[in-house]
Structure 1
Amino acid sequence: MNIDAALEYLVAAVLLAGGAFALVGSYGLFKLGSFEKRLHGPTKASTLGVGGILIGSMLFHLFWSEGFSLRELLITLFLFITAPVSALMMMRAYLAGRVDRPQPPQD
């Protein structure tokens, strides 16, 4: 086996793993019942899935195309930074809406 075939298998494995994570994340978003459970699908598994696909694309461009792709690296970094923060903000907003607040007196 030459090095080119090994790199092709590596890129294919990373792309397949990323696709599998994205599929599991979208299935979790569709199938799970409550908001708290549904939040885990896109923020955990789908983030890893899209990250895996972007890393596979970076490897492909590095070895067989125009070279290192800064654009895909920046997309991956921003994805891994913003997805957990947005999930945290959505959960805090959800929990703030569920807090028992005193009701005004009814006339």
Structure 2
Amino acid sequence: MTVVRDVLTAVLFPAGAVFCLLGAVGLLRFPDTGSRLHAAAKAQTLGLLLVLLGAAAQLPSRHAPVLVLVAVFQMLTAPVTSQIVGRTAYRVDGLDRRSLVRDELAERLTKDGTPPPGADTGPPDHDADR
């Protein structure tokens, strides 16, 4: 039984570390706030959960509630924080609005339905880069 736990841990720890590393690389390499938020929220959360599963396989069951609390806290706070940072970046023009497929927030932020200043409401122009 310990061999199975050791193999499981030997798979989960490096997989979690790889996802955390990919999230960090995404934070450095992605061009705008929206894509950086995606890298931080998705990859880092999955990486942490894999590491926690690997730790849970090795630790006695009395430590499981602490690991579950860490996982729940991460799952609750990462999306909320990403939402707040994303909306703040949108309001201060930290996002490339030309890359948005739909801009539903523009209508919500204005009372009369007209887009805020600086917003490009048309579809992204991918031919402009050529």
TM-score, normalised with respect to structure 2: 0.67
Please report how far the alpha carbon of residue 68 of structure 1 lies from its aligned counterpart in structure 2 after TM superposition. Answer: 2.9
Deviation at 1:44, TM superposition (A): 0.6
User: Is 1:57 aligned to 2:55, yes or no?
Assistant: yes
Give the RMSD, CA atoms, in angstroms: 1.5
Which residue number in structure 2 is paired with residue 24 of structure 1? 22
TM-superposition CA deviations, 1:22-44 (whole Å, max 9, x none): 01100100111111111111111
Matches within 5 A, 1:90-101: 90-98=85-93, 99-100=116-117
Work out the CA distance in 1 between the residues paired with 2:29 and 2:62: 38
Map residues 76-87 of structure 1 onto 2, 5 A cutoff: 76-87=71-82
- Residues 1:5 and 2:22 aligned together: no
Greater Cα offset, 90-99 or 32-41 = 90-99
1:22–1:50 Cα contact (<8 Å) kept: yes
TM-score by length of 1: 0.80
Q: Does the 8 A contact of 1:58 with 1:68 survive in 2? A: no
Does the alignment pair 1:75 with 2:92? no
SS in 2 for 1:33: coil
Q: Which residue of 1 aligns with 2:98?
A: none
Q: Which amino acid aligns with 2:68?
A: L
Aligned residues: 95
Identity of aligned residues (%): 27
State the partner residue of 2:124: none
- Return 5+ residue gaps in structure 1 as ranges: 102-107
Specify every segment of 5 or more residues in structure 2 that has no aligned partner in the other structure, as ranges.
Answer: 94-115, 119-130
- 1:104 counterpart residue number: none
